[in-house]
A and B are shown apart, each in its own frame.
Chain A
Amino acid sequence: MASKPLFQPDFASPAHPMKILATLGSKARDRFEELGFPSRRDEDWRLTSLAPVTDHQFAKAPEATVTTEGWTLPDAVIITFVNDRVVTEIDKGDLPPGVTITALSSAAATHPHLIENHLGRLARIDDQPFVALNTAQGLEGALIHLAPGTNLDRPLDIVYNTTGDDIVTYPRTLIIAEEGAKATVLETFVGDGRSLICPVTEVAVGPNTSLSHTRLVEINTEGSCVGSLSVTVDEHATYRLSSAALGGSLVRADIRVDLVGEGADTVLDGLTLVGGNEQGTAHVIVDHRVPNCTSTQRFRSVLDGRSKAVFTGRIIVAEDAQKTDARQSSRSLLRSSDAVAHNNPQLEIYADDVRCTHGSTVGQLNPEALFYLRARGIDRSTAEGILTLAFAAEVLEGIPIEAVRSRLADQLTARLGQPSHQFSKRKAQDTMKFGDLER
């Protein structure tokens, strides 16, 4: 690395009283000290500028207990984090049967086998510096456990609040959905200042289970979020993810989904909206380890100003993972001629009887469509907003919770309200249209 980063994580907190967590934590700390922050020489980080993280000193967030007033889902089971800790008093009587929600520290005592078998096993510290960093920072998060056959009809709404400037938080959540369970989970990462959020979420989706997961990053343009999501999907289970990030100095998600049981199916949608000098990255790995699994990735980014968006989508198909059906599409919409989008499909296919498709486009708003709307009386910036929303529609429509869908659409509209940079006429003419290149 060129120079020593200004951000020196604080490892001063005392060892965890629960031995299992303490061991995990100290291993992770050692690992982080070996790895350090990723550099541009690291292939997975080549296109990410870490300056928003490393060029700033973030202090470990104080222990806060007050719940901030934020948006929550109606009729949901709400789990609130403030900084690194869960602050919700989960009223056991209020939880549907089969559902356990508890702090990791108590879970280490009450459900040691669950912790041992899953925590730190899905999100790996060996090659992911930010996972190591998170794991080394106290593991104050939550365990959510769904017993076999639990059918949760209310969504779980997990809100991670990071409040204040110049602080860093390390939220940690482990979700275990046992065989035959069915649930909808929403995670919202909220930051109101120049803060850094480094969350890690691990999800184990058991056999015949159906889990629908939505992740929203709602931070302001000064804040950053570098998060990791690691999922295993067992046989005949379905895991559906909708992930959206609306801005942030650096907002990056490293998503890994391992299909480990035959007949597993996953659909991963992502939307990144960046402007100004913001950077958004989705780094996705779908690992088909066994035969007969299906995966679909649909990632979209919308860029204004001088922003940058990166999508890397790796599909790995193991040697005996025959009859794999893996699809990927990534599309970026440049609303400014100064913005840059990278879409990198990466295929590592070791089996021969598979179907893999991928397509990626980087384009601008279709000038024909824009003119059509204007020729009907709709002003340019509204027309651009309508077309941008249409571009994001596929991902929006995939969000299973109506309240989240409309909230996100409203936020998008509000953000797009600012007139975007205009293209020069010359540029507008050699524009390609969407749809031309797909597949």
Chain B
Amino acid sequence: MLELRNLHVAIGGSEILKGIDLKVNAGEVHAIMGPNGSGKSTLASVLAGREEYEVTSGEVLFQGENLLEIDAETRAREGLFLAFQYPVEIPGVGNTYFLRTALNSVREHRGQPPVDAIDFLQLVREKADVVKLDPSLLKRAVNEGFSGGEKKRNEIFQMAVLEPRLAILDETDSGLDIDALRIVSEGVNSLRSPDRSFIIITHYQRLLDHIIPDFVHVLKDGRIVESGGRELALELEARGYDWLDSDPALEISR
């Protein structure tokens, strides 16, 4: 599904990601954990196609294609989805209108006919229910005046509508209370399938009590310093990140 080989990324001349290797197969759920500022959102943004980040070396394959050569909208149409850490408010653009335009762009790319307004409304009602999103929010402008939790639910709701192949969730758990966390997690779990993969970025392990990952990676200072199974998340919860050294070369002397 997705393969990163020695990915280096810089912004404004400073290197943020310093050689990431990662392989995500179809149906797998990978968690990426790490302290603030370690480069998690940078990784998510680069994968989603943000142009201000500069890939200085390495490569990324998505469904066998060179992802870095494709623009953001085409990545989305080919099934890559990013649930933003900070979803932007877009005054004047209606949520429903926006999402229908997005869905029809994706469908057109897949060679499917556009959905009409009535079928779309039906679909939206169904999917809003998955994350218990208050349907009245759909009448508002995109994310405008939404609470932090509502914004996060809206991201997962959009994911449910767009049915991506690979979803990257950037700290979707932050700002959610226990109930909302459970609802959002159930929403994500209901979308798990053998041909859909997830990269779940978080720095708390509590989300991973609900969404059980197949692999856990620790990102620190732009490098993956540790990878393991779900037990790694528990260890991180107990011991923090400090015991992990950011420079793998130093591991020998530990």
- Contacts from A to B (Cβ < 8 Å): 366, 368-369, 371-380, 382-383, 386-387, 389-391, 393-394, 425, 428-429, 435
Contacts and interface: CB of A to CB of B under 8 A. Distances in A.
Contacts of A425: 51-52
A386 B52 contact: no
A382 B72 contact: no
A379 B73 contact: yes
A368 B103 CA distance: 20
B102 interface: yes
Nearest to B89: A369
A14 to B, nearest CB: 53
Contacts of B88: 366, 368-369, 372
Given A374-B49, A374-B71, A377-B103, 13 more contacts: A366-B90, A369-B88, A371-B50, A372-B84, A373-B93, A373-B98, A375-B82, A376-B105, A377-B109, A378-B98, A380-B73, A386-B93, A391-B92
Contact of A377 (B87, B90, B91, B162): B162
Contact of B102 (A368, A376, A380, A393): A376
B90 A390 contact: yes
Listed from nearest, the 10 A-B pairs whose CB atoms lie closest are A390-B92, A376-B102, A377-B76, A393-B92, A377-B105, A374-B72, A368-B88, A374-B73, A377-B106, A377-B77
A389 B77 contact: no
Interface in B166-208: none
Contacts of A372: 84, 87-88, 90, 142
Contacts of B77: 377
B92 A389 contact: yes
A84 to B, nearest CB: 39
Q: How large is the interface on B (under 10, 10 to 19, 20 to 34, 35 or more residues)?
A: 20 to 34
Contacts of A435: 91
8 contacts: A372-B142, A375-B76, A376-B158, A377-B162, A378-B102, A387-B92, A391-B92, A425-B51
Contacts of B158: 376
Contacts of B92: 387, 389-391, 393-394
Give the secondary structure class of A's interface: helix
B36 interface: no
A376 B52 contact: no
B211 to A, nearest CB: 22
Contacts of A386: 93, 98, 101
B48 interface: yes
Contact of B93 (A368, A390, A394, A429): A390
A435 B89 CA distance: 11
A373 B102 CA distance: 8
Interface string B105-117: 1100100000000
A390 B102 CA distance: 16
Given A369-B88, A387-B93, A378 B101 contact: yes
A366 B142 CA distance: 14
A425 B73 CA distance: 18
A377 B73 contact: yes
A428 B90 CA distance: 18
A376 B143 CA distance: 14
Interface in B43-72: 48-52, 71-72
A391 B52 CA distance: 24
A375 B72 contact: yes
Contacts of B76: 374-377
A382 B106 CA distance: 14
Contacts of B49: 374-375
Contacts of B87: 372
A394 B92 CA distance: 8
Contacts of B73: 374-375, 377-380, 383
Contact of A387 (B50, B82, B90, B103): B90
Nearest to A369: B90
A121 B87 CA distance: 55
Which of A377, A386, A390 gathers most chain B CB within 10 Å? A377
Contacts of A383: 73
Contacts of A387: 90, 92-93
Nearest to A391: B92
Contacts of B82: 375
B237 to A, nearest CB: 31
